[in-house]
A and B are shown apart, each in its own frame.
Chain A
Amino acid sequence: MQRSAIVVVIPLLLWLVTGQASAHAFLDHAQPRVGNTVATAPREVTLWFTQKLEPAFSSVTVTNAAGQRVDTGKTRVSGNQMSVSLRSGGAGTYRVTWRVLSVDTHTTDGSFTFQVGQ
């Protein structure tokens, strides 16, 4: 019984580990970096994800400490990278809110903050 189980289990594990996989798109890193402080307000925010994105269904917004949107509203997506330009803003805490659809149809969303000039 044990030998037959191994015959079944090992090929299954190999298939699972080596098979084509396109997982949920999670935020890998961002610029400005998550939770970090930059001296001056950035001209754009760029996010890198763990998977390629579907441009039509992926977007990001940025708000300032007063809750007002400071992004231009035009999200650019290329591969696993998503960017949005910012209008000029002052010091304070900025919140980045994103929602993406990975190429395997999984939707994920999230948010983080970074600080300017503090």
Chain B
Amino acid sequence: MSIRLWRAGLPGLAIMLVPLGESVAHEIVGNRFFPATLGIDDPGVNDELSLPTVSNFKTGDDPSFRQRDISADFSKRITEAFAVSFGSTYSSFRPPGGPDSLGAAGFQNLDTTFKYRLFKNPEHEFVMSVGLSIEWGGTGAQSVGADPFNTYTPTLWFGKGFGDLPDTLSWVRPVAITGQVGYAIPGRNSTTTFSVDPDSGDLTADTEFHPRVLNWGATIQYSMPYLKSAVIDLGLPDFVNRFIPIVEATLQTPVSNTFTSGTMTTGTINPGFLWVGNTFQIGIEALIPINRQSGTNVGVIAQLHFYLDDIDPRGIGKPIFGGPVQPASPFPRN
């Protein structure tokens, strides 16, 4: 493959640096319940299982092809504020995807994320976590774009609920925003591939530079459960009171070592909704590419997500070391 083609294909590869189904945690901060989100990880740590997360979209490669992913993520708290999560994604490329344009299927690299909740303020519904995600190179199939080298992504997550707004803005209190900023550092700067030109017989060398990528994103969500329990009970059906309309943005910007990738930001805007049960949630969102390099059609992502801390609170759903920490605010808070 020539360098020119690598350039065309790299925006799609950049998206693959961030598996769509990597989000696992949910968090409770005072009145605020931050649900697990599909595009980016939410700001908390907990014992959870996303199984499955499925997505279907047409890539931004040239030529574009349809990609279907199914993934699973499991998060386990080691302590009340520290968790380790493991994720795996199985990808299927329709033709002309894959190295020989005939389609491909296989696992992406395994992911492990170490996440620590730094700060939680129930009164202002604010939470912040830091962590390190490692994509283990060589554990996936190169035919679906899995890199043979590790990628390390230190990441900051945050969440803020608007429950502390004044009474005049009470209808805005159910709104919350979350966000993440990560910096993906490939373990290898470049890969050079040697081949023989079939026409001239000359030896050619193609070099792909692996960019360092800023993985950033945000969500804005309106919590019907919050509206009912903390602002105003409108007497709506319980089914309606469990919805959380949400818009997510998941973006990737190559920022260094961009000789062959360029610096164009790619990503998607994902409007959709979550429906929150007592022990699980479901979510479905559209995947709207922000430009041609991000995709050629609107895709879809859906997730079934289990709260293991609620399903088995005395077993797999509790931290390995120590018990649950009491809320940061002493009672009464006001």
Contact = CB atoms under 8 A, between A and B. Distances in A.
B311 A111 contact: no
B229 A26 contact: yes
B231 interface: yes
Contact of A26 (B225, B311, B327, B334): B225
B233 A29 contact: yes
Interface string B316-334: 0000000110110101111
Contacts of A34: 228-233
B30 A19 contact: no
A104 B310 contact: yes
Contacts of A35: 170, 231-233
B142 interface: no
Given A16-B49, A106-B309, A106-B324, A97 B331 contact: yes
B326 A107 contact: yes
Given A21-B278, A107-B327, A97 B334 contact: yes
Interface in A5-56: 9, 12-13, 16-17, 19, 21-24, 26-30, 33-36, 50-51
Given A16-B311, A107-B326, A23 B334 contact: no
B332 A97 contact: yes
Interface size on B, as a range, is 35 or more
B31 interface: yes
A105 interface: yes
B63 interface: no
Interface string A81-113: 000000000000101010100001111111111
A80 interface: no
B280 interface: yes
Contacts of A12: 51
B33 A26 contact: yes
B232 A36 contact: yes
Nearest to B235: A33
B90 to A, nearest CB: 9
Contact of A22 (B231, B313, B323): B313
B155 to A, nearest CB: 26
Contact of A109 (B30, B232, B304, B324): B30
B291 interface: no
Contacts of B51: 9, 12-13
Interface string B287-326: 0000000000000000010110111111000000001101
Nearest to B327: A109
B36 to A, nearest CB: 14
A22 to B, nearest CB: 7
Given A16-B279, A109-B122, 7 more contacts: A24-B310, A27-B229, A35-B231, A99-B331, A105-B314, A106-B309, A112-B230
29 contacts: A12-B51, A16-B311, A19-B311, A19-B312, A21-B279, A21-B310, A22-B313, A23-B310, A26-B33, A26-B225, A33-B233, A33-B235, A34-B229, A34-B230, A34-B233, A35-B170, A35-B232, A51-B278, A61-B331, A95-B334, A97-B332, A104-B314, A105-B323, A108-B327, A109-B30, A109-B31, A109-B122, A110-B229, A111-B230
Interface of A: 9, 12-13, 16-17, 19, 21-24, 26-30, 33-36, 50-51, 59, 61, 63, 67, 93, 95, 97, 99, 104-113
